[in-house]
Amino acid sequence: MTKSANKLVIFSDIDVEKALKNAVKKPRPDIISELRESALKGRGGAGFPTSVKWNLAASAQGERKFVICNADEGEPGTFKDRVLLTDYAEQLIAGMILSGYVVGAKEGIIYLRAEYTYLKHDLEATIEKMRGKKLLGKNAAGKEGFEFDVHIHMGSGAYICGEETALIESLEGHRGEPRNRPPFPVTVGYLGCPTSVNNVETFITALHVVEKGAKWFKTFGTEKSTGTKLFSVSGDCEKPGVYELPMGITIQKLLETVDGTGAKAVQVGGASGICVPAKDFEKALAFEGVATGGSIIVFGQHRDMLEVAINFMEFFCEESCGQCTPCRLGTETLLEGLDLLSEGKCSLKYLRELTSLGETMQVSSKCGLGQSAPNAFLSIIENFKSEIFDTRCSCR
Ligand SMILES: Cc1cc2nc3c(=O)[nH]c(=O)nc-3n(C[C@H](O)[C@H](O)[C@H](O)COP(=O)(O)O)c2cc1C
Ligand code: SF4
Is residue 27 included in any domain, yes or no?
yes
Cα 365 to ligand 2 centre (Å): 6
CATH of the domain at 363: 1.20.1440.230
Tell me, yes or no, whether 10 and 81 share the same domain.
yes
Give the contacts of 293 (CB within 8 A, at least 6 positions apart): 43, 44, 45, 75, 78, 199, 269, 270
CATH of the domain at 156: 3.40.50.11540
- Tell whether omega for the bond before 76 is within 30 degrees of 0, i.e. cis: no
How many structural domains compose the chain?
3
Tell me, yes or no, whether 124 and 148 share the same domain.
yes
Query: Residue 396: pLDDT above 80?
Result: no
- How far, in Å, CA of 343 to CA of 245, rounded? 42
Segment 19-46 shows an average pLDDT of: 96
- How far, in Å, CA of 279 to CA of 1, rounded? 29
pLDDT digits (tens, 9 = 90+) for 167-226: 999 999 999 999 999 999 999 999 999 999 999 999 999 999 999 999 999 999 999 999
Tell me, yes or no, whether 100 and 232 share the same domain.
no
Which residue has a Cα nearest atom 8 of ligand 2? Answer: 321
**Is 248 within 8 Å of 225 (Cβ atoms)?**
yes
Tell me, yes or no, whether 269 and 326 share the same domain.
no
Residue 261 structural domain: 228-299
Report the candidate in 312, 53, 55 with the shortest Cα–Cα distance to residue 199: 53
Q: Ligand 2 pocket: which of 323, 328, 361 to mutate (most atoms <8 Å of CB)? A: 323
Is residue 396 included in any domain, yes or no?
no
- 3-class state of residue 290 by DSSP: strand
Give pLDDT, residue 395: 65
Local confidence band at 292 (pLDDT 50, 70, 90 cut-offs) = confident
Tell me, yes or no, whether 20 and 121 share the same domain.
yes
H or E segment and range at residue 220: none
Of ligand 1's listed atoms, the one at least distance from the Cα of 74 is 8
Tell me, yes or no, whether 89 and 154 share the same domain.
yes
Tell me, yes or no, whether 147 and 264 share the same domain.
no
Cα 390 to ligand 1 centre (Å): 37
